[in-house]
Structure 1
Amino acid sequence: MTAPRLVVGISGASGAIYGVRLLQRARALGAETHLVVTPSGVLNAHHELDMDRAALDALADRSYAPGDIGACVASGSFDTAAMVVAPCSMKTLAAVAHGFGDNLLTRAADVTLKERRRLILLVRETPFNLAHLRNMTAVTEMGGIVFPPLPAFYNKPASIDELVDDTVERVLALAGIARAAPKAWQGLRA
């Protein structure tokens, strides 16, 4: 049995921890990961996590420069289970919503949509303006999944790490990665 392939994009929104944890957990679950990080994504990872591009690249099975439009993830013939952009900036969202594949991350997202595979965007910006909302609607109408990393509090998380891990587990399950185990709501107990 071959490992499922997961394309991961990290763009320039705050929340680089989501992409990092996603890569770590996907590896633990046996997924083959392919990473594209934008320059702004590297800047945020450095600022928020003290990580550079080399440290990010080390988390993936393969990594690609954003300008490498000839990379395998730019083609629909490269079969993948899903693509996740974590975090997804509003610039990246707009590019995906309008089919503007000007770098490898947005090209891979466009390919994911055209091949009718799962594209999950962890959009990170609030409050939303009308352009943001329209772009989210456009991506949803094209088959993408807009997944703002909004925490669930019903599991009574004790730390930010638990909030992040819960979101990552939900995203991996949504991406179809076997053995991902998000905590399920157990219902109210009387």
Structure 2
Amino acid sequence: MILRRVARPLLATIFVTGGINALRQAEGHAKAAEPFLNAAFDKVGDVVPEQIPRDPVTLVRVDAAVKIGAGLALAAGKAPRLAAGLLLGSLVPTTLATHSFWTMKDPGERAQQQIQFFKNAGLAGGLLLAVADTAGKPSVGWRARHAAKDVSASAGKLSRKAEKRANKLAKRAQKALPH
């Protein structure tokens, strides 16, 4: 559908450009994200596997790579639901780390960060729609329910056939027995 061919690249653009910008300025982005990351690792660090990097610059670069890769995949329509899910997973912590307007004291800065927060909330809504978009095909849940109905119907038919066959055999056995 033409709508998807236009909407997906438009939605992806902010993530691809943001990812490129983050790669170019990884240290600056890491500095902005560091308080959030430190607080997050303080709270859940013991359940985060050791293989997960804790260095803010590395995490910013990983996040940027996800945004660029998933953004390009979404724009191209390659695994768009997965790509949108990855972008959503990247957007939430980024938004919390960089647009926590509720912590701002300066009214001007608070208003600016609030705008950015709600812009990202709108992007999250678009990504949720993209995650749920089956492109006109039945969802996995629908297919599973209908497959279960088909299996149930087939099992019922087999059961009735087996019962008829058993009844026929029983009648033959009765006729074969001497009276």
Compare the two structures and name the one with the higher helix fraction. Answer: 2
Q: Same fold (TM over 0.5)?
A: no
Taking structure 1 as the reference length, the TM-score comes to 0.28
Taking structure 2 as the reference length, the TM-score comes to 0.29
Q: Which has the larger radius of gyration?
A: 2
Compare the two structures and name the one with the higher strand fraction. Answer: 1
